[in-house]
Amino acid sequence: MSKERENNFDLLRILCTVGVILLHISSIFMNGVTDEASLGGLYQQYTWEVCLFYVAPRFAVPCFVMLSGAFILADDKNADFGSFYKKSWKKLGIPTLIFSAGYTIFSIMKSVIYCGGAFTPDMVIGPLKYWAVGFPYYHMWYLYMLIGLYVMAPAVILVRQHVSEKAFELAAWGLLAVGCLSGMTSTYTFFWDFGYSFCYLGYFMLGYALHKKFLTKKYNTHGICMILCGVLIEYVIAILWYQQAVIGEQATFWGYSIIEPLSPMTACAAILIFMGFARLDIKMNFGRAASDTFLIYLIHAAFVTVYHAGIKYYMGVDADARIMIPLGVVFTYAASGVCARVWEGMFSRIVKRKEKF
């Protein structure tokens, strides 16, 4: 497998990271449409813009999973269980534990501050319970779900090696359909539940299949058309979401939110966008920025929390979402990027010191 970076997927990874930040920044306004506690009153201005900001980035999580599958499942070396798990522990396991502990402490500190310095045992017990179920902070669920996919990855590669590419792709589509149905009809207590990870296995496998299919079939016009079709579906989702939001209800498929990663409309939009990027031939190199995205994802939630606190206590319902949401995305991405570079610098120095000894 070539180790050269693929600029199209590097760009998609960056856009997915920006999308996740956009989703989380806009959530305080979206919640404020129906919940007075969010902004100190109901947010009744620029509701359409808020819905658009809130729905537009829903492609990000499915695309993140497909990006992981595209490269992990393509490397036959990852069929070695021991080697792959050892590598994954360093890449995924250790950062997950470190940031889980950090966000648990952050949650405790936040509770103490909100209560004016008062402390109760529940302020510690609550965050620890959330960590136990794989939800130490609202964005960390993805890392715990991903653990299950990483555990399954070597076995999936062994299966791939013994079936045709067409059969593997058909299996991916079938598993995605089952995963969406399961996600819409089942409840999972733990985000590290293998059943929950299995719901995303179709995305994981489809990422490899679509990447393989379009690896040598680059055509920018087709790629752009596919992306625009995916964006159009998201626009329709935003309209449906807005129509329900203005009357205080949630747009759903049989009780399951239409904007969740496993909803059919979100799946269609994300797959079209992924396929579109797979077909793009991009000359510009985004490798350095793309390499920061994992740490930016881990770090950004802390800055989102600070930004939300500033909006709530200094602006409240008078905040202009059209300005504050884009501004928040820029601030959060930039601040998280700086912290990511600092983290990488510190980590590299620690590794070098260990090598000396």
Identify the pLDDT of residue 344: 83
The number of beta carbons lying within 10 Å of the beta carbon of residue 313 is: 10
Residue 66: name the closest of 131, 9, 1, 119 by CA.
Answer: 9
* Tens-digit pLDDT string for the chain (357 aa): 345 689 999 999 999 999 999 999 999 999 999 888 899 899 988 999 999 999 999 999 999 999 999 999 999 999 999 999 999 999 999 999 999 999 999 999 999 988 887 888 889 999 999 999 999 999 999 999 999 999 999 999 999 999 999 999 999 999 999 999 999 998 899 999 999 999 999 999 999 999 999 988 888 999 999 999 999 999 999 999 999 988 888 888 878 899 999 999 999 999 999 999 999 999 999 989 999 999 999 999 999 999 999 999 999 999 999 999 999 999 999 999 999 999 888 766 665 555 555
Q: Virtual CA dihedral for 208, 209, 211, 213, nearest 10 degrees?
A: 160
The strand ranges marked E within the chain are 252-253, 256-257
Give every CB contact of residue 165 below 8 A, 6+ residues apart in sequence.
Answer: 209, 212, 213
Rg (CA), the chain: 21
Tell me the DSSP string of 45-62. Answer: SSHHHHHHHHHGGGGHHH
- Strands 252-253 and 256-257, how do they pair? antiparallel
List beta partners, residue 256: 253
Identify the pLDDT of residue 311: 95
> Distance (Å, rounded) from C-alpha 349 to C-alpha 352?
5
Identify the pLDDT of residue 3: 55
Residue 270: name the closest of 6, 56, 21 by CA.
Answer: 56
